[in-house]
């Protein structure tokens, strides 16, 4: 065991602050990574403030962060895919049972016994796992991703959660040429959703509550932007969408979007607001429309997404901050004031 510097929260009302956490010595199959950048996901904020208490109660002290990119510093004797000096990525998962039907299909995100990067029981050290707001992490090589060499690393980090969470449902619902696709909310997930839908060849419409994001949405790949608070603009699109991805982090009216789907269209929720959303049965019944959810993605698909990003030169648009500004970043996230993901430069932790 060794100590690593980290930023942790002591309770749901405490700010994140400098601390140290234990990390295990790498075992035969482990990779130790020096973390270079870690994205700030809205899930980090939900978790730290215990907003998901009923589903995933927070355990304190907690160290969030599951959009991790870094450089391998040490590997165990049986590690074959990585060596010291390689770039490496870690997302929301660090282990699973490897034997259930989901794991056998490469869908580790559905494993009943998966270990999340933070807040899950730590099977080696006891206590809970600690995430990427830290100088290093030790992970089983099966949960470590290869990072394309041509991409900007600060912008790669968010691909490990925001990227795969938007890529996976688009692949599942076969987003492609000839389709009209909506993306609701232009934040960390939403802006990645726009980039992927555009790269997959769909016609993309962004729904935003922030009129100031219109120009950016077009630059990111949208063909059209709708200010969702304007009912007239919304009405123009009734019954026209093949697929809509809803990335909104707060309570909102999803029926307004279900109406916009064509017959047999699907809306997938990836945003995870604290409180339940109301669904009108009629908006689903008329048109045989469907409502789904989707969690992150499995390891194989996450690698596919990273390779797709390498081939299409896709990264997140990031505002790089030192770890010392993380609490301020959380407040700005709540105001939808980030273009479009905070990425923490972890070298800033050295001065703590």
Q: State both tokens at 127.
A: 């206590």
| Length of the chain counted residue by residue | 352
- Sign of torsion, CA 191 197 198 200? positive
- Residue 270 interacts with ligand NAP (CB under 6 A)? yes
Stretch that binds Zn ion, among 43-51, 257-265, 297-305, 342-350 (CB under 5 A): 43-51
Reference 337, options 155, 162, 187; nearest CA is: 187
- Residue 91 interacts with ligand NAP (CB under 6 A)? no
- Residue 41 interacts with Zn ion (CB under 5 A)? yes
Stretch that binds Zn ion, among 39-47, 215-223, 325-333, 334-342 (CB under 5 A): 39-47
Cβ-based nearer residue to Zn ion, 33 or 260: 33
Strands 290-293 and 341-345: unpaired
Residue of 210, 240, 255, 347 that binds ligand NAP (CB under 6 A): 210
> Minimum CB separation from Zn ion for residue 296, in Å?
7
- Residue 250 interacts with ligand NAP (CB under 6 A)? yes
- Residue 195 interacts with ligand NAP (CB under 6 A)? no
50 half-sphere exposure, CB direction, 13 A CA radius: 15
- Residue 43 interacts with Zn ion (CB under 5 A)? yes
- Residue 31 interacts with Zn ion (CB under 5 A)? no
Strands (E), the chain: 2-8, 17-23, 30-39, 68-75, 87-90, 93-95, 115-116, 136-140, 180-184, 203-208, 224-227, 241-246, 261-269, 290-293, 318-322, 341-345
x/- track of binding to ligand NAP for residues 140-159 (CB under 6 A):
--------------------
Reference 167, options 127, 200, 121; nearest CA is: 200
Q: Spell out the residues 6+ positions from residue 205 whose beta carbon is closer than 8 angstroms to its own.
A: 180, 181, 182, 183, 222, 223, 224, 225, 226, 237, 241
What is the spatial distance between Cα 120 and Cα 123, in angstroms, rounded to a whole number?
A: 9
Binders of ligand NAP: how many residues, by CB under 6 A? 31
What, of Zn ion, ligand NAP, none, does residue 279 touch, CB below 5 to 8 Å by kind?
none
> Minimum CB separation from ligand NAP for residue 89, in Å?
15
Residue of 94, 189, 305, 323 that binds ligand NAP (CB under 6 A): 189
3-state secondary structure of 247: coil
Cis peptide before 308 (omega within 30 of 0): no
Cβ-based nearer residue to ligand NAP, 64 or 70: 64
What, of Zn ion, ligand NAP, none, does residue 132 touch, CB below 5 to 8 Å by kind?
none
- Residue 62 interacts with Zn ion (CB under 5 A)? no
Contacts with ligand NAP by CB under 6 A lie at 41-43, 46, 161-162, 165, 185-190, 208-210, 213, 247-250, 252, 270-273, 294-296, 333, 336
């Amino acid at each position: 065991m060794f100590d690593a510097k980290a930023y942790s929260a002591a309770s749901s009302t405490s700010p994140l602050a400098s601390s140290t956490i234990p990390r295990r010595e790498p075992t035969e199959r482990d990779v130790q990574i020096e973390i270079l950048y870690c994205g700030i996901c809205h899930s980090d904020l939900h978790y730290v403030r215990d907003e998901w208490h009923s589903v995933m109660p927070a355990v304190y002290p907690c160290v969030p962060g599951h959009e991790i990119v870094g450089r391998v510093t040490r590997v165990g004797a049986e590690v074959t895919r990585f060596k010291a000096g390689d770039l490496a990525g870690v997302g929301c998962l660090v282990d699973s049972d490897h034997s259930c039907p989901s794991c056998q299909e490469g869908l580790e995100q559905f494993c009943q016994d998966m270990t999340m990067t933070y807040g899950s029981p730590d099977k080696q050290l006891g206590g809970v796992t600690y995430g990427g707001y830290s100088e290093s992490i030790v992970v089983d090589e099966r949960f470590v991703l290869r990072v394309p060499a041509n991409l900007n690393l600060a912008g790669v980090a968010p691909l490990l959660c925001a990227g795969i969470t938007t890529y996976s449902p688009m692949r599942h619902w076969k987003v492609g040429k000839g389709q009209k696709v909506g993306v609701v909310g232009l934040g960390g997930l939403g802006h990645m959703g726009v980039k992927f839908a555009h790269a997959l060849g769909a016609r993309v419409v962004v729904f935003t509550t922030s009129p100031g994001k219109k120009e950016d949405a077009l630059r990111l790949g949208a063909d059209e932007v709708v200010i969702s608070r304007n009912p007239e603009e919304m009405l123009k699109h009734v019954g026209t969408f093949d697929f809509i991805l809803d990335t909104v982090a707060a309570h909102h009216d999803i029926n307004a979007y279900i109406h916009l789907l064509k017959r047999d269209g699907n809306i997938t929720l990836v945003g995870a607001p604290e409180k339940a959303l109301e669904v009108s049965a009629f908006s689903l019944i008329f048109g045989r429309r469907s409502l789904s959810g989707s969690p992150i993605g499995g390891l194989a698909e996450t690698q596919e997404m990273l390779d797709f990003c390498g081939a299409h030169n896709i990264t997140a648009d990031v505002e790089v901050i030192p770890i010392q500004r993380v609490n301020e970043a959380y407040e700005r996230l709540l105001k939808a004031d980030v273009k479009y993901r905070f990425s923490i430069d972890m070298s800033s932790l050295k001065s703590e």
